[in-house]
A and B are shown apart, each in its own frame.
Chain A
Amino acid sequence: DTEVTQTPKHLVMGMTNKKSLKCEQHMGHRAMYWYKQKAKKPPELMFVYSYEKLSINESVPSRFSPECPNSSLLNLHLHALQPEDSALYLCASSQAGASGVEQFFGPGTRLTVL
């Protein structure tokens, strides 16, 4: 299985809602990533988990809260988002502890904040 899955595919939420994005992989990868991608822009790294521990937080606002409950799952909890947070949120995974390894991307969750 060489697939990263993400749910939901689309999400519309109000600024007062609480929602979660989910990501799953069964490739035995121990590094998982959250990226944010706005239209016609490249992916921007948000968080990196290595061996289920948060290793990189790119100064992301606290209204985004990542969680890695086990080596296969990665969540992104959303609360009190702003309309400018509307974007495609991509999850990726790779082998951990090794640079130069390919990141496998999921299909993304397209988030709209009203």
Chain B
Amino acid sequence: GQNIDQPTEMTATEGAIVQINCTYQTSGFNGLFWYQQHAGEAPTFLSYNVLDGLEEKGRFSSFLSRSKGYSYLLLKELQMKDSASYLCAAQTNAGKSTFGDGTTLTVKP
């Protein structure tokens, strides 16, 4: 089975750093995706982690600990346009991805 948890909402200030956590319990776990979704739009890919550790990509970084079933997405130098829903998705060895409920991030001036 699959169980994915992430906070429902977060608020942060423009220019600040925010960390969005995700925990998962996934049979046959292979890796973890992070997607960004603006209201009324399709999800867009941010990152994929399969090995433990931190992957950095510009202002966004993603971390995975397979032994703890834990991941986080770190957003630096927040901009107003970063206000969106952030979805973590656990992928199994069979290639099936299950999404968490998403974290709605609001960036305030």
Q: Which residues of A contact B (CB under 8 A)?
A: 31, 40-45, 48, 50, 56, 90, 98-100, 102-108
Q: Which residues of B contact A42 (CB under 8 A)?
A: 87, 89, 99-102
SS class, residues of chain B in contact with chain A: strand
Give 10 nearest A-B pairs by CB, closest first. Answer: A42-B99, A105-B42, A102-B45, A99-B30, A100-B31, A99-B95, A105-B43, A107-B42, A100-B50, A100-B48
Given A106-B42, A107-B41, A107-B42, check contact A45 B96 (CB 8 Å): yes
Task: Please tell me the size bucket of the interface on B.
Answer: 20 to 34
Q: Is the CB of A99 within 8 A of B31?
A: yes
Q: Is the CB of B43 within 8 A of A31?
A: no
| Residue-wise interface mask of B (39-68) relative to A, using a CB-CB cutoff of 8 A (1 in contact, 0 not) | 001111100101000000000000000000
The CA-CA distance from A40 to B102 in the complex, in Å, is: 8
Q: Which residues of B contact A56 (CB under 8 A)?
A: 94, 96
- B91 contacts partner chain A, Cβ-Cβ < 8 Å: yes
- Distance in angstroms from A112 CB to nearest chain B CB is 14
- Distance in angstroms from A78 CB to nearest chain B CB is 20
- Distance in angstroms from A5 CB to nearest chain B CB is 11
SS class, residues of chain A in contact with chain B: loop
- Distance in angstroms from B100 CB to nearest chain A CB is 6
- Distance in angstroms from A59 CB to nearest chain B CB is 13
The CA-CA distance from A108 to B92 in the complex, in Å, is: 24
- B106 contacts partner chain A, Cβ-Cβ < 8 Å: no
- B79 contacts partner chain A, Cβ-Cβ < 8 Å: no
- Distance in angstroms from B18 CB to nearest chain A CB is 20
Partner of B97, one of A98, A103, A108: A103
Q: Is the CB of A31 within 8 A of B95?
A: yes
Q: Supply 17 further A-B pairs (C-beta < 8 A) apart from A98-B95, A100-B91.
A: A41-B102, A42-B101, A42-B102, A43-B43, A45-B97, A45-B98, A56-B94, A56-B96, A90-B42, A99-B30, A99-B92, A99-B94, A99-B95, A100-B30, A102-B33, A104-B45, A105-B42
